[in-house]
Chain A
């Protein structure tokens, strides 16, 4: 069974530009979460979507946004890029359990470099 697929895997942008990252979850998974990983801050939660609705949001500025489509695929967008946005962006998908929290399966990430 195919895992979580993220595209692009690597990209380089300059300050002020915007970027869109894509995530295709495991088939049947309806919850998609996004995390930012940096050497200084570690792994930080960005947001989570379920059935096209954002259910949870981390402490990031409004420049970070996301959405989920009816087929559960998700995109995140970062506008007006700053040097500090350079990071590995990880997407995770999960079956939504009737109760509690299911297992989250992560993709290999999109590595963004901002120059």
Chain B
């Protein structure tokens, strides 16, 4: 069965520190998609990135970077030089199977960036 684990419930850092959010997933499918979403206090889930199982290239987008490793079933997310505006709950998610829009979400990691 598909499962997403975010072991870090809450992380607190001081502004400008780097922070890594961990995500470990389980699936028997060979084709799948992984996502990261950010949920600020307003409630809306903001899309950050989508990765398919065929593409293990790591990606950097501004202060954000993602490390996808199939060998360890991990899809970790790093924020460099964190800012107060990064404070939010971050969710990792897995599509149930290829071409399925049913996402399995992790329990989320609450990030607090203190000034």
Interface residue ranges, A against B (CB under 8 Å): 31, 33, 35, 42-45, 48, 55-56, 58, 88, 90, 92, 94, 99-109, 111
CA distance A74 to B10 in the complex (A): 34
The answer to whether B101 and A101 touch across the interface, beta carbons within 8 angstroms, is yes
A90→B101 contact, CB < 8 A: no
| B98 within 8 A of partner (CB) | yes
CA distance A92 to B46 in the complex (A): 11
> Which applies to chain A's interface (DSSP): helix, strand, loop or mixed?
strand
Q: Tell whether A101 pairs with B44 under 8 Å between CB atoms, given A31-B101, A43-B91, A56-B102.
A: no
B100-A106 in contact (CB<8A) = no
Identify the closest chain A residue to B52 (Cβ): A100
What would 18 more interface pairs be, CB under 8 Å, given A33-B103, A56-B101, A58-B102? A43-B91, A43-B105, A45-B102, A45-B103, A45-B104, A48-B101, A90-B45, A99-B99, A100-B33, A101-B95, A101-B99, A103-B47, A104-B101, A104-B103, A105-B47, A108-B43, A108-B44, A109-B43
Interface residues on B, range: 20 to 34
Question: CB-defined interface of B15-45 with A at 8 Å, one 1/0 digit per residue?
Answer: 0000000000000000101010100001111
Q: Which of A31, A45, A107 has the most CB of B within 10 A?
A: A45
Asked if B101 contacts A88 (CB within 8 A), the reply is no
Q: In the complex the two chains form, what is the Cα distance from A103 to B46 in whole Å?
A: 11
In whole Å, how far is A77's beta carbon from the nearest beta carbon of chain B?
Answer: 20
Contact A104 B100 (CB under 8 A): no
Q: How far is the CA of A10 from the CA of B107 in the complex (A)?
A: 24
A contact residues around B99 at 8 Å (CB):
99-101
